[in-house]
Structure 1
Amino acid sequence: MTDGPRLIGRKEAAAYCGISPTTFSMWVATHKMPQPVAGTRRWDKKAIDARLDELSGLKPADAEDPYEKWMRENSDG
């Protein structure tokens, strides 16, 4: 069972964030929210969630990529 599609339009993305579509567009323009997926007018819910986590302080903005962390911790150097 899913919570709907992962990619959502501007109105759905705004509703997902609990803000108006106009405010969502302003947040995208000011880089508060991510850009739509390249070549589409759809936003990835996971990208929105990640950005909201950063804005609310749940995750540091400069969190290390999990793959890069694994490579650093498991390198033979």
Structure 2
Amino acid sequence: MTNEPRLIGRKKAAEYCGIAESTFSMWVATNKMPAAIAGTRKWDKRAIDAKLDEISGLTPSDKEDPYDKWIREHGDD
């Protein structure tokens, strides 16, 4: 198990994403990355991972209605 903290500052968050700190700041400002946790200057790595998954197309950005999903998966039987 790693001893690295789950919450990280802006510099570490940018490094974690492999981008410049200024780029990370721009991504936060444009909602491409999550904002810092309220009352802190720290980012949650899991929230960053979720946004990276979303912008990479690994997870849908809009949530499908459960009923519509069921209909799509089961058809109009």
Question: Is the TM value for this pair above 0.5?
Answer: yes
Counterpart of 2:27?
A: 27
Letter aligned with residue 4 of structure 1: E
Counterpart of 1:39?
A: 39
The equivalences for 1:57-72 within 5 A come to 57-63=57-63
Count of residues in correspondence between the two structures: 65
Letter aligned with residue 36 of structure 1: A
Q: Distance in 1 between matches of 2:3 and 2:32?
A: 24
TM-score, length-normalised on structure 2? 0.79
Q: Distance in 2 between matches of 1:34 and 1:3?
A: 23
Counterpart of 1:56?
A: 56
Structure 1 stretches of at least 4 aligned residues deviating more than 6 Å after TM superposition: none
Q: Indicate the SS of the match to 1:16.
A: helix
Letter aligned with residue 23 of structure 2: T
Q: Which segments of 5 or more consecutive residues in structure 1 lack a partner in the other structure? A: 70-77
Q: Percent identity?
A: 71
Change (3 A) 1:63 1:3: farther
Q: Distance in 2 between matches of 1:62 and 1:5?
A: 30
How many angstroms does 1:3 deviate by? Answer: 5.5
